[in-house]
Amino acid sequence: MIEELTGYFGTGGRLSSCLDGYEYRPEQHEMAEKVLSALRGENHLIVEAGTGVGKSLAYLIPLIEHVSGGSAGRAVVSTYTKALQRQLVEKDLPFLKENLFPDIGFALCLGSENYLCLRRLDISRQHGLFDPGDEGEMRDLLEWSESTDTGLYMEISPSFSLWSKICREHDLCHGRDCRFYDGCPYQRAKDRERKSRILVTNHHLFFAHIASGWNVLPGFETVVFDEAHEVERVASDYLGVEVSNTKLRYLLDSILSKKRKGLLARLSWLDDGRFSGIAAIVERVRGQGERFFADVAVWLGQDKAKRIRSKGQFVDIITEHLDTLRAEIYKLYDAALDKEEKKDIHAIEERCRVFIDSMETVLEQGLEGYVYWTEVDGRKTRLSATPIEPGGILRPQLFEVVSPVILTSATLSVRGSFSYIKDRLGLEEADTMLLESPFAFREQMLLYLPGGLPMPGADDYDEGIYREVERILGLTGGRTLVLFTNYAMLNRVCGLMRLKGISVLKQGEADSYTLINRFKADGHSVLFGTYTFWQGVDIPGDDLQCVVITKLPFSVPTDPVVEARMEALSEEGKDPFYSFQVPQAIITFKQGFGRLIRTARDHGIVAVLDSRIKRRAYGRAFLESIPEVEIVRDMDTLRERFEKQKLNFQPGEAVNG
């Protein structure tokens, strides 16, 4: 036992004297000791900590112990969901600072676009760069800018179109040369970060930091990834290349929008002839861009996403004209006398160059080991290059640079093995620890696996799912979360529902936060959701008593990135279904399964309506990757067991982080 940690976590330790309701959890103590050993030995560590272990305090306390001495420098804690990020900075770290570590400094690190730029706000005010109809919001923003301490978007939440004109953008920042530097919200935030030992951020900003050449966050020696099951997906996005119609439109609007707002409108010294000439080039690029991305959409046809298998699939009709525009912007830089204008002109010229380079990379498939693909998502059409094996990039760019890296989540193992996550992240050399949840799942949960349901893909599949969900709701009376793997199926099943006395809430009708609050407030409601609700949803107590998993969450094999990764595994002589798709689906399945039991007093039902879990050989792998629970196979037994369960449990609240 590590003596200083026993002083915190042991019976009668410091936590028991300052944390109301503290209970000694051996799993929490074991995890803390393993984390501290990894920190001191500079060894990478992967920890699966089941629900209720209290993993936040189990890594925060050893982490603070390690960095507070001064020699270990600074540490980053990175999360995936905003909910966990808020828990760390609004609850856990303030508690530790107040009660155990009064000298520790911590800071929340957000992307720079979350901060108000006083210079851009002043320019928008002076030059009228906001659109007609924005006057009211602009007045509110100006008033708020006089009183805000943080300058953060979340304080006021204006429209995106307005905020994009006044937020901080890294390449438009003038740094110490800015006349608003002393009062800059972003610079104040960076100053707090530099003075802090613990930085809390999210996976997106962390990998933006790596992609930028380590230029976003202050220097650090250690990183803890909580919700580490999402690291591969986020890293793949940020280590790839993308061009889209929305990016091109934003670039052109920043030069001169159709409403005649933008950089050119600010340059009072620009004569009419030159203004008109550059404006004509902007419109030419805009027109070529619209034609190019329309051609891409036509090529996609009815497919939402499609792989680009060869170079030259699309003729580049954009970059020649965009390069002409870039050259004209460069001439403006030479002509400008004002330092602020020169900085802004240079940033725009550089954005043109980056878009040109990205187009060439994607169309000419200039990166080895990447899959090239295109997708239409609403009004956005994009072309992307995504690394097939992100572990091959993460190993030299992260794990060989930062040591130690701690990865933790409630869902990292498959059948007790960490082979899948280690292989995907390129982290062969890492210690591992698997900690079961301290909760009594066999007493708290019923796993309902009904018989007689049609197999996925059958003609009567949707109707079978609908009827079973209806039967379950007849038992629970609501308080049920129904999880789908895609919107199409969600909408089809939801369209069949004819429920009396039960409110139906559906993803897409409002933001997730609003839907969850409505769900909690109405004890007779059902919430239908897709992947957004498979993780990060925390509804303890009686508000949630049933989770329905309609389908095992296998990735679509024809998805371009999935297809390329499966091909790569086949070339290595591996079975891509069992080495990739099954373990990936199990980890997501465990996330959905974990939505129900959040505290020691929670109880209820998890229903799995995909008959493959019983009929296919791989179904056993799903069942062997979750805690031991009582399995019920018919509705009469389920009703009897559920009524008995309700008598034995009353809702409670979790402590111990």
Tens-digit pLDDT profile for residues 237-287: 999 999 999 999 999 999 999 988 899 998 989 999 999 999 999 999 999
Mean per-residue pLDDT, 392-397: 94
Which pLDDT band holds residue 621 (cuts at 50, 70, 90)? very high
What integer pLDDT is reported at residue 654 of this predicted model? 43
Taking the C-alpha atoms of residue 409 and residue 50, their distance in angstroms, rounded to an integer, is 8
Beta bridge partners of 504: 526
Which pLDDT band holds residue 70 (cuts at 50, 70, 90)? low
pTM of the model: 0.92
Tens-digit pLDDT profile for residues 353-394: 999 999 999 999 999 999 999 999 999 999 999 999 999 999
Q: Say whether pLDDT at 342 is over 70.
A: yes
What integer pLDDT is reported at residue 127 of this predicted model? 74
Q: Say whether pLDDT at 398 is over 80.
A: yes
Q: Say whether pLDDT at 441 is over 60.
A: yes
Report strand pairing: 370-377 vs 198-202: unpaired
Mean per-residue pLDDT, 572-585: 97
Which pLDDT band holds residue 83 (cuts at 50, 70, 90)? confident
**Mean per-residue pLDDT over the chain, rounded:** 93
- Of the given ranges (185-194, 327-336, 498-507, 607-616), which has the lowest mean pLDDT? 498-507
Which pLDDT band holds residue 162 (cuts at 50, 70, 90)? confident
What are the backbone angles phi and psi of residue 645, rounded to the nearest 5°? -60, -40
Task: Please calculate the CA angle 348-352-356 and round it to the nearest 5 degrees.
Answer: 165
What integer pLDDT is reported at residue 653 of this predicted model? 43
Q: How many CA atoms lie within 13 A of 27 on its CB side?
A: 20
Mean per-residue pLDDT, 483-508: 90
Q: Say whether pLDDT at 656 is over 60.
A: no
Q: Say whether pLDDT at 655 is over 50.
A: no
539 CB-near residues (< 8 Å, 6+ apart): 481, 516, 519, 520, 595, 598
Question: Around Cβ 36, how many Cβ atoms within 10 Å?
Answer: 20
Beta bridge partners of 409: 48
Q: Say whether pLDDT at 72 is over 70.
A: no
Structure tokens at 565: 């990764």
Q: Say whether pLDDT at 71 is over 70.
A: no
- Of the given ranges (45-54, 177-186, 300-309, 638-647), which has the lowest mean pLDDT? 638-647
Residue matched to tokens 């089809």: 492
User: Do 384 and 375 touch, CB atoms closer than 8 A?
Assistant: yes
198 CB-near residues (< 8 Å, 6+ apart): 60, 63, 64, 67, 74, 75, 77, 93, 104, 105, 106, 107
Mean per-residue pLDDT, 156-182: 90
Taking the C-alpha atoms of residue 87 and residue 70, their distance in angstroms, rounded to an integer, is 26
- Counting residues of the chain whose pLDDT is more than 70, the rounded percentage is 97
